[in-house]
A = this chain, B = another copy of it.
Amino acid sequence: MNIDFELLAKKMIGQTVPKPSSGTLSGHAAGEPFDKLVYKFLKEQLPQNTFRQYEFLNELFLANPQVQNYNERVKLIGTPTISYLLSRGKEPTNKWKPDKLFEEKQNDTADIVVSDKDFIHIIDVKTRNMSKNAQAPNIISASKLAGACSVMLDNNDFDSFDINYIQVDWILEDKNLVCTNITKADLFKSNPEKLYINWASAMQIQFHVNELNQNYNGDKKNWAKEYLYHFTQEATKRSKYMINEYVIPYEKYTKSVV
């Protein structure tokens, strides 16, 4: 089940969405309608297989009414790593009912899920205002990704999914935002040791999709190990940085307190 990204790019480039009436043109909100357009065009390509993440879970649970508790519902979702990445919390999953469907949630891992019997493409859409030199966006929690890597390694679960990021470039033209380009990057084809973790910003991995290297040659098993090595090294560095930056400079003031 391959996604034709070239076809998607052809459809997207030149598309316009209205400029938001309020708020700034920086940040997520301005380009968000483009995410819905990407979804629409992928759905046209693969109508039976393309879902928003919450839709994917709703359809799965609706199709399996006999499965009613958390552990079994989570198993429905897919392999252990897919379940780890796409499931909702224990309580919401237990409480899910056909008349109380999941709704879209901002911190879902995926914007879009393209699902085949044996393979799931997890897709996240990022939008980028090309007239501004903005900070790289939040991609995924570094600790959530560490958890996913450990689940992959514990279960030898390397061939059931990939994680792709699609960047929609846009510029402002009069009252519209116009899509000028589309780029795509495969997380597991990027060098895990180069991923930037912003610890102060909810431990998010941050990059511009079009700037992500795609030269990694190892397999997913090596990727997971190397990412965990990188993550633990960076966490150790950050832990030391906190002492040097936030404790030692203030010790002279605090001695008299205790």
Contacts and interface: CB of A to CB of B under 8 A. Distances in A.
A235 B243 CA distance: 7
Given A20-B22, A21-B22, A200-B203, A243 B236 contact: yes
A25 B196 CA distance: 32
A226 interface: yes
A258 interface: yes
Contact of A246 (B143, B153, B257): B143
Interface residues of A, number: 40
B235 A253 contact: no
A231 B257 contact: no
A228 B250 contact: yes
A249 B147 CA distance: 10
A257 B192 CA distance: 13
User: Copy number of this protein in the oligomer?
Assistant: 2
B257 A229 contact: yes
Contacts of A63: none
Contact of A254 (B23, B225, B249, B258): B225
Contact of A235 (B146, B153, B246): B246
A197 to B, nearest CB: 10
A88 interface: no
Contact of A247 (B20, B149, B224, B232): B232
Interface string A145-174: 010011001000000000000000000000
A250 B201 contact: no
A231 B203 contact: no
Contacts of A229: 253-254, 257-258
A108 to B, nearest CB: 15
Contacts of A253: 149-150, 153, 224-225, 228-229
A253 B256 CA distance: 44
Interface of A: 20-23, 29, 143, 146, 149-150, 153, 199-203, 224-226, 228-229, 231-232, 235-236, 238-240, 242-243, 245-247, 249-251, 253-254, 256-258
Given A143-B246, A235-B243, 18 more contacts: A20-B22, A21-B21, A22-B22, A23-B29, A146-B246, A149-B253, A150-B250, A150-B253, A225-B253, A225-B254, A225-B256, A228-B257, A229-B253, A231-B250, A232-B246, A235-B247, A236-B243, A239-B242
